[in-house]
Structure 1
Amino acid sequence: MTKSFYVTTPIYYVNGAPHIGHAYTSIAADVLARWKRLDGYDVFFLTGTDEHGQKVEKAALDAGVDPQTFTDQVAEQFQTLAVALGLSNDDFIRTTEERHKRACAALWTKLLDAGHIYLDHYEGWYAVRDEAFYAEDELTTNVHGIRVAPSGAPVEWVREPSYFFRLSAWQDKLLAHYEANPDFIGPNARRNEVLSFVKGGLIDLSVSRTSFTWGVPVPNDPAHVMYVWLDALTNYLTATGYPDADAPRARFWPADVHMVGKDIIRFHAVYWPAFLMAADIPLPKRVAANGWWTAEGEKMSKSVGNVVEPNALIGEFGLDAVRFFLLREMPFGNDGDFSRRALISRLNVELANDLGNLCQRSLSMIAKNCDGKLPPLPTPLTEADIALLSQAQALPALLGAAIEAQAFHVALEEAWKVIRAGNAYIDHQAPWALKKTDIVRMASVLRVLADVIRHVATVLQPFMPDSMGRMLDQLVVPADGRTLAGLATPLVDGTSLPAPQGIFPRFVEEVA
């Protein structure tokens, strides 16, 4: 039976256009999904948009359109970005869809019937920008004398009728779950943050609003709309066909990994598992939170004009170079700084010089000195051959372990260790000199290099699908030989290879 794997991005809030932070999380989830497919898993990869709430209603009003028109326009931008990023998502969910409203109503009814939701009224500090309530001790006063949440969002005192979820009842069960499942929250800094929050004491959570209407109506009480986070989090269930237990995608629940930004870890690691426990639904296996990007050392902001726009980057540098850079540059979970200079350096040094050079030199020598035919694997192998081939053959396990832990930069470094070793092997073996002294050994060296390139290109497909596909084309690797299992089937001796083509040109900055 094929193993299944379910990975999600956060569903992106439609109060503004997508930026590099959205691109980063989406690419990371895509790499994980592609890796699992490469490893033979049946994968379901979900992304989408979160379209309800007071903040969206206000943004639509400011834009002079109704909320549905506004969300249609912004959701389309995120759908377009998903295509531009080369995402392999299996579904794109929008919380304004009828299937999602049905799932929300089903979950609400289940929680209400079980006694986990009750009607009361709410008084407290609310931040419209965060769509969240905050306790008095979480607030500070900014330089303008305005009360603000930890995020910096202004808060206002709100009093209105509200349904509440008995969050306080789940404190001990949540702590027990964190202890029994130490990998449930990653990285450790986020896990510690969540533990501290829950140990500090949970109070019941307001889960409905009456002061605006742009949301999922509460079943049998249309004066209330559901709290946007109860609505939004349910999307992960909606996409599996919930509440239909016989839906084709129901087999994918529970999710294996929710990938989210660190600013929404509390919702995913506290509220979401509490909702699911209360509804007697299995919990996701892991919530992995990534950090934030700055630009040239400064916080990105529209007013400053330094927001890094993904489509412009892709247009200038190419999709695979951007995908590679984002996951190579910033350890997942940490904050990272986007620098144009760093991107160009990574592209020229690691893609063009290291990987591009390894492939171009090796394949050009096969074309020139072996009639363009793949030489046979040497027998016996020398110590140098064995050392390099062993490094290459270890890549699937090494990258798999790193990707499972969302350590994408570590996975790439493992591949680059082999790429650098391959370039050193060429220099030490000097096949151009062997051509004059031992043509059989020259051919053997070139075959070892072809096998190493095949392994490197195979494991890097999730990161750079198009470029690595073209690299495998140059080795004439059949479609069924491009998976991790396919690596067990050797390349065929004597295969005619096409004329080698450079994959990664150097980027030269134009001088104005």
Structure 2
Amino acid sequence: FITSKDLAGGKCKIHQKEPEIIEEENYFFKLSKYSKEIGKAIEEDKTRIIPDGRKNEMMSFINQGLEDVSFSRPRKDLKWGIPVPGDESQTIYVWADALVNYLSALGYPDDNFKKYWPPDVHCLGKDILRFHATIWLGMLLSMKLPLPKNIFVHGFITSSGQKMSKSLGNVVDPFELVKKYGTDSVRYFLLREITSMEDGDFTYEKFEQRYTSDLAKGLGNLVSRVATLAKKHSFPSDISAKGQVQKEINSAQEKYKKSLADFKFNEALISVWGLIGFCDRYIEKEKPWENKENAEEVIINLLFAVKEIARLLEPFLPQSSKKAADQLKSEEIKALFPRI
């Protein structure tokens, strides 16, 4: 159900259709009872909504006063679903029983549930924020359960600037992408090209450009170069970097940690690729293949840097991170990302 204030030009903002006016008897959840408590939790960041723009959007909505919500539909109109306890003529509204899955999946109320609740981060799309920041929080308050610590709201993915639609023929099949380029390549594009909290656009041209420049010629090329240089020497396992290389690693780590804390995954990856770029320039400047006096020190610095790059990339590119680390210890050098 939607109300008149949810419409734009008389149409639903999401579906772009005029609503059908109906009248029926339902059971309601008294959401209005929790309006002030929900607003206080969000305003004081007890449940932090990220980004701030989404928080402001929800505070504006809540400050208008939350209304009670229909939590059932007549069984004659909705034969599937969970019957309302004690009234077989009504079916629980799908959003109500869907939200409860967050609890039941953890085995509420047993010890396993207590181990994982409340969640550190509740990740959801911008179109379902209102349900989760009002109805769901109200349900939790009514059950006297802790609220999620953070609600992280992401945008949509468009295709060549348009909403993906079968009728437009612009739907991108992620399984086909993975089959051709690998899981980590797809993960990298989505996390690097699209900012975490806004809409982002996918095109095959953008994807292949990122794949070639950042993965094949960037990360993959650096790992191959350093692994090739290291094969000519024997180093202890407990190596460490020195001088400017260590300073660059420290700088990348600081930027990376801050970006993750702010849920800015693309910026975390930018910090890692900044370190990759530094290593490339360091190789060209020092030319360790010329067997200068400092050649071994340069290679050790590079080995340590690439190990750190692999470690930082583990949450984003788990398969490639492991392959990169293994490559440094292997006699056989394979391309992490084959050229296309």
Q: TM-score normalised to the size of structure 2?
A: 0.93
**CA distance in structure 1 between the partners assigned to 2:171 and 2:31 by the alignment:** 37
Residue 288 (1) aligns with residue 148 (2): no
Q: Contact 2:46–2:149 at 8 Å: present in 1 too?
A: no
Q: Contact 1:378–1:444 at 8 Å: present in 2 too?
A: no
Displacement of 1:366 after TM fit?
1.8
- Residue deviations 1:444-503, cap 9 Å, x none? 111110010000001101211111111111234xxxxxxxxxxxxxxxxxxxx4232221
Q: Which segment drifts farther, 147-156 or 228-237?
A: 147-156
**CA distance in structure 2 between the partners assigned to 1:409 and 1:154 by the alignment:** 38
Displacement of 1:270 after TM fit?
1.1
Displacement of 1:395 after TM fit?
4.6
**CA distance in structure 2 between the partners assigned to 1:378 and 1:284 by the alignment:** 42
Residue 502 (1) aligns with residue 335 (2): yes
Give runs of aligned pairs for residues 66-81 of structure 1, distance below 5 A. Answer: none
Q: Contact 1:291–1:332 at 8 Å: present in 2 too?
A: yes
**CA distance in structure 1 between the partners assigned to 2:85 and 2:260 by the alignment:** 41
Q: Contact 2:38–2:137 at 8 Å: present in 1 too?
A: yes
Displacement of 1:378 after TM fit?
8.4
Distance 1:282-1:430 versus aligned 2 partners, 3 A rule: same
Residue 229 (1) aligns with residue 103 (2): no
**CA distance in structure 2 between the partners assigned to 1:418 and 1:148 by the alignment:** 49
**CA distance in structure 2 between the partners assigned to 1:140 and 1:347 by the alignment:** 40
Equivalence for 1:186:
50
Equivalence for 1:149:
12
Residue 330 (1) aligns with residue 186 (2): no
| Equivalent in 109, 116, 126 of residue 262 of structure 1 | 126
Equivalence for 1:218:
84
Distance 1:339-1:282 versus aligned 2 partners, 3 A rule: same
Residue 474 (1) aligns with residue 327 (2): yes
Equivalent residue of 2:152, what SS? Answer: strand
From the two aligned structures, give the one with the greater strand fraction: 1
**CA distance in structure 2 between the partners assigned to 1:139 and 1:419 by the alignment:** 49
**CA distance in structure 2 between the partners assigned to 1:274 and 1:377 by the alignment:** 53
Report the residue type matching 1:404 in the other structure. Answer: A
Q: Taking CA–CA contacts closer than 8 Å with sequence separation of 6 or more, which of the two structures ends up with the larger relative contact order?
A: 1
Residue 387 (1) aligns with residue 253 (2): no
Displacement of 1:352 after TM fit?
1.3
Equivalence for 2:317:
464
- Residue deviations 1:297-316, cap 9 Å, x none? 12211101101111011112
Report the residue type matching 2:13 in the other structure. Answer: P
Equivalent residue of 2:21, what SS? Answer: strand
Equivalenced residue count is 337
Equivalence for 1:451:
304
Distance 1:324-1:235 versus aligned 2 partners, 3 A rule: same
Equivalence for 1:427:
284
Give runs of aligned pairs for residues 9-48 of structure 1, distance below 5 A. Answer: none
Give runs of aligned pairs for residues 117-266 of structure 1, distance below 5 A. Answer: 133-141=1-9, 147-151=10-14, 152-181=16-45, 184-210=48-74, 211-242=77-108, 244=109, 246-266=110-130
Equivalence for 1:374:
235
Equivalent residue of 2:122, what SS? Answer: strand
Distance 1:202-1:154 versus aligned 2 partners, 3 A rule: same
**CA distance in structure 2 between the partners assigned to 1:376 and 1:472 by the alignment:** 12
Quote the sequence identity (%).
Answer: 36
Equivalence for 1:78:
none
Q: Contact 1:330–1:409 at 8 Å: present in 2 too?
A: yes
Displacement of 1:405 after TM fit?
2.7
**CA distance in structure 2 between the partners assigned to 1:158 and 1:376 by the alignment:** 72
Equivalence for 2:210:
346
Q: Contact 1:162–1:208 at 8 Å: present in 2 too?
A: yes
Report the residue type matching 2:6 in the other structure. Answer: E
Structural RMSD (CA) = 2.0
Report the residue type matching 1:475 in the other structure. Answer: L
| Structure 2, unpaired ranges of 5+ | none
Distance 1:218-1:183 versus aligned 2 partners, 3 A rule: closer
- Residue deviations 1:429-456, cap 9 Å, x none? 11123x1x42xx1111111100100000
Displacement of 1:138 after TM fit?
2.6
Distance 1:377-1:140 versus aligned 2 partners, 3 A rule: closer
Equivalent residue of 1:303, what SS? Answer: coil
Displacement of 1:389 after TM fit?
2.0
